[in-house]
Structure 1
Amino acid sequence: MLTEDEAGRLISWLADAVGRLNAAHDLAEALDTTARSAVAAIPGTEGAGIVELTRGGRLVERVSTCDLADRTDRVQNDTGEGPCLLALATGGTVRIHDLGEETERWPALAEAARHEGIAGALCYRLDTGLDRRRMTLNLYSRRPGVFDDEAVLLGELFASHAGLALAHAHNAHQLSTALSTRDLIGQAKGILMERFKIDDYKAFQMLVESSQHTNLKLTDVAAWLVASVEGSRG
């Protein structure tokens, strides 16, 4: 049971961690901040990683704080079994006291865990709301039984906030990209309008036709045009 002082520190830490997550400029930065913040705050954690399950059923590591987390996530991908896959399947929290003892449930993983020196594991599915993106936050330790009930609760609170923050970072990056793209296309249209004395609609049509003829994205055509003009001016 948390004391009043411990609860106060927990609330303060969560507020600080969420603030750092919300300040992330894109999803990659938010993922890295999530993993590193978890290591710093959740008792017993020696390494953390975030993995994503692809449509083909393969685990892809998005971020890892150390070799321990990297090895553990890789072993689960290689063996096709383990706590992070269970968390993805059930949507719940998965706590393992000692992976090396899971010989009946995950025999291949248990053998690899003993060889790699991996013991405690705590995995949470991240509810980001991002379309078709299924990720877990995975916490690991070389010591068995290190994740107690308070660590589990703290991790659940953190994972819940982290999921929202990751969605925020992703959406903010998408919006920033969309605005940058619109500005770039606007610059390209302006160049064509000035050079050929045409209106906005015809300038856009020229960009579309160039995109189709060159098999390049519209934004790539616009970027090339803007860069060419700026280069000639320089």
Structure 2
Amino acid sequence: MLTEDEAERLLTWLADAVGGLGAARDLPQTLESTARGAVEAIPGTEAAGIAELFGREQFVERVATGALPEIVDRLQHELAEGPCPLALATGRTIRVHDLGEEYDRWPKLAEAARRENVAAALCYRLDTRSDKRRMSLNLYARRPGVFDDEAVLLGELFASHASIALAHAQNSEQLTTALSTRDLIGQAKGILMERFGIDDYKAFRMLVESSQNTNLKLVDIATWLTSGVTGAED
């Protein structure tokens, strides 16, 4: 159990680390701040990455502070074994003292870890509030056993704050996209209304029917229409 002084030191350290998360203006910046902040905040961390899994197959390395997370995260996905896939699947914090010694649990990854000279791993699933879109914060070090109980606790607190920041950034991104889409469709309707002398409702029906007939999204039809008009004027 932590002493009062140790707890105060950890909270101060955490506050400094998460301070930059709120300053990020969009999702890419928030992801970048999260990875960098984890390296600074969590003792023993040499490099950090955030991996994302869409559904069951589509894997994306969203951000990494160096080559190490990119290599190890990609290996885990390709081999379908390791702490990152386990954290994504279960939502649990997964700590590994030495990946190179995990022959019983992850034989292929253990061999690759020795080859890539990576040892310790600490993985957290971030709360994206979506079952279809899962993210994990993955911390790595070349020395074994560097993630002690204090590091695990600090990482859990950091991951919780990061999840809140990411949720806020995602909501802002979705709102911006929605507003942009609405404006684009509005422009497309205006073009059709002027060209064919029709009202707002009929213009929207033309867009919907075009979307259905071409099997394209409504926003793609609107983009094509507005781009075509812009091109003609140029």
Shorter-chain TM-score: what band?
0.7 to 0.9
Q: Is the 8 A contact 1:58 1:77 kept in 2?
A: no
Tell me the amino acid that sits aligned with residue 143 of structure 1: R
Matches within 5 A, 1:94-105: 94-105=94-105
Q: Which moved more, 1:223-232 or 1:63-72?
A: 223-232
Corresponding residue for residue 163 of structure 1: 163
* TM-score, normalising length: structure 2: 0.86
Secondary structure in structure 2 of the residue aligned to 1:129: coil
Matches within 5 A, 1:221-232: 221-232=221-232
Corresponding residue for residue 188 of structure 2: 188
Q: Which moved more, 1:4-13 or 1:190-199?
A: 4-13
Corresponding residue for residue 50 of structure 1: 50
Matches of 1:58 and 1:225 in 2, distance apart? 31
**Deviation, structure 1 residue 59:** 4.6
Matches within 5 A, 1:1-234: 1=2, 2-3=5-6, 6-7=9-10, 9-20=12-23, 23-26=24-27, 28-56=28-56, 59-234=59-234
Matches of 2:105 and 2:210 in 1, distance apart? 58
1:222/1:58 Cα in 2 relative to 1: closer, same or farther (>3 Å)? closer
**Deviation, structure 1 residue 79:** 2.7
Q: Is the 8 A contact 1:211 1:218 kept in 2?
A: yes
Tell me the amino acid that sits aligned with residue 25 of structure 1: D
Q: Which moved more, 1:2-11 or 1:132-141?
A: 2-11
1:157/1:216 Cα in 2 relative to 1: closer, same or farther (>3 Å)? same
1:79-128 CA-to-partner distances (Å, cap 9, x unmatched) read 32211222233322111111112222222222221121111111111122
1:9/1:178 Cα in 2 relative to 1: closer, same or farther (>3 Å)? same
State the number of aligned residues. 231
Tell me the amino acid that sits aligned with residue 199 of structure 2: D
Q: Is the 8 A contact 1:130 1:167 kept in 2?
A: no
1:9-63 CA-to-partner distances (Å, cap 9, x unmatched) read 324314413313xx3423x443333222212222211111222344335654332
Matches of 1:4 and 1:87 in 2, distance apart? 26
- Among the aligned pairs, what percent are the same residue? 64
**Deviation, structure 1 residue 158:** 1.0
**Deviation, structure 1 residue 139:** 0.1
Matches of 1:90 and 1:212 in 2, distance apart? 39
Stretches of structure 2 lacking an aligned partner (at least 5 in a row) = none
1:215/1:8 Cα in 2 relative to 1: closer, same or farther (>3 Å)? closer
Stretches of structure 1 lacking an aligned partner (at least 5 in a row) = none
Secondary structure in structure 1 of the residue aligned to 2:216: coil
Secondary structure in structure 1 of the residue aligned to 2:55: coil
* TM-score, normalising length: structure 1: 0.86
Matches of 2:181 and 2:144 in 1, distance apart? 50
